[in-house]
């Protein structure tokens, strides 16, 4: 099922600000936007292990301060766009399922919270889908109608746009779980319960074990690093450390396999890559592009891989677009 995101006309008077909340595992980003421009932003340290309910008072206080500092009133804001790193019912605007962060998420009535505190509507979406909306409308995917966006980080996030509408599915999972495509049926057990998922074979959470499992790890220069992350991996691979190079090759091959499956499944015109690991995009992008060019079955031509334009704030822009395109302004 493809859900179009709507194109209703808005009244552009004073009431055209939106609030964007991007609830990440370590940082909560709050944005004040106006017609696709980020006017103000704040960041809070996330206490994701303590749940969502306990964070709501601080969110409310931060939003109220933001309004006050920008000389705005409640009536100047159209609504809240809420991004969440888990499965989200975007029809009822409720969190459906979490993965070790904000585990009380499904118990919270976010729509009721926004109505009670400000009398605003609230629209919730999975964070990868929200970021895709932002890149589609204002960033790397502008003027495209068919996109896949992938976030390479602690886990692997994904969202899909087909024919100008977000791919959602019967249970809000379609086009969203590329990080859990199986690339190795004899592989590592994933946090999702499956075996050999893309993120179970190559992601930030998997990397330390990947390195330690290498038979020559103890002799390698990367073994001296306190933190075994992708920054260290790219650094040592660049210095010709054999273990780092082999593990990096493995990760790139895993990501390429995932991307090729995404291309075969969703037929995008463009793939947008984002996430913390993309700080080394100079190596990742050309390597993945070459593998995709060689291996993907696309008789019409080649799918281009590009870097996200707003790696840090795409979900905030997406939230602004979602609210503005979904809410009709009342005269």
Kindly list the residues in this chain that would bind Zn ion in the complex (CB under 5 A).
180, 190, 192, 194, 197
Closest by CA to 309, choosing from 113, 149, 182, 178, is 149
Smallest gap from Cβ 69 to Zn ion, in A, equals 42
DSSP three-state, residue 2? strand
Q: From the CA atom positions of the chain, what is the Rg in Å?
A: 20
Nearest CB to Zn ion, comparing residues 180 and 236: 180
Smallest gap from Cβ 202 to Zn ion, in A, equals 12
Nearest CB to Zn ion, comparing residues 21 and 254: 254
Q: Which tokens hold the place of 178?
A: 């590329």
Smallest gap from Cβ 177 to Zn ion, in A, equals 8
Nearest CB to Zn ion, comparing residues 70 and 99: 99
Smallest gap from Cβ 204 to Zn ion, in A, equals 14
User: Are the CB atoms for 271 and 148 separated by under 8 Å?
Assistant: yes
Nearest CB to Zn ion, comparing residues 69 and 189: 189
How many CB atoms are closer than 10 A to CB 107? 11
CA neighbours within 13 Å on the CB side: how many for 274? 27
Alpha carbon distance 3, 158 (integer Å)? 17
Smallest gap from Cβ 190 to Zn ion, in A, equals 3
Nearest CB to Zn ion, comparing residues 167 and 183: 183
Alpha carbon distance 229, 206 (integer Å)? 10
């Amino acid at each position: 099922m493809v859900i179009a995101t709507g194109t209703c006309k808005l009244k552009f008077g004073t009431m055209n600000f939106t609030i964007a909340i991007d609830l990440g595992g370590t940082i909560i980003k709050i944005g004040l936007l106006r017609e696709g421009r980020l006017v103000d932003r704040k960041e809070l340290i996330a206490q994701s292990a303590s749940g969502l309910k306990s964070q709501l008072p601080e969110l409310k206080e931060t939003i109220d301060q933001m309004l006050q500092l920008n000389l705005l009133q409640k009536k100047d804001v159209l609504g809240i766009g809420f991004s969440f790193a888990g499965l989200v019912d975007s029809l009822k605007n409720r969190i459906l399922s979490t993965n070790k962060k904000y585990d009380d998420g499904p118990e919270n009535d976010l729509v009721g919270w926004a109505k009670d505190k400000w009398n605003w509507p609230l629209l919730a979406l999975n964070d990868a889908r929200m970021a895709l909306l932002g890149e589609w409308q204002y960033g790397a995917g502008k003027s495209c109608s068919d996109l896949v966006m992938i976030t390479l980080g602690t886990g692997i996030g994904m969202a899909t746009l087909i024919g100008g509408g977000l791919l959602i599915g019967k249970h809000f999972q379609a086009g969203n779980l590329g990080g859990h495509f199986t690339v190795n049926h004899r592989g590592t057990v994933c946090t999702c319960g499956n075996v050999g998922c893309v993120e179970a074979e190559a992601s930030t959470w998997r990397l330390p074990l990947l390195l330690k499992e290498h038979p020559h790890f103890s002799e390698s220069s990367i073994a001296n690093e306190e933190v075994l992350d992708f920054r260290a991996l790219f650094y040592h691979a660049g210095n010709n450390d054999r273990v780092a190079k082999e593990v990096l090759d493995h990760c790139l091959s895993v990501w390429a396999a995932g991307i090729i499956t995404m291309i075969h499944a969703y037929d995008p015109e463009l793939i947008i890559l984002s996430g913390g690991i993309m700080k080394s995009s100079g190596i990742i992008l050309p390597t993945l592009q070459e593998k995709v060019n060689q291996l993907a079955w696309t008789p019409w031509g080649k799918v281009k891989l590009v870097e996200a334009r707003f790696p840090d704030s795409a979900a905030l822009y997406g939230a602004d677009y979602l609210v503005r395109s979904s809410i009709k302004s009342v005269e």
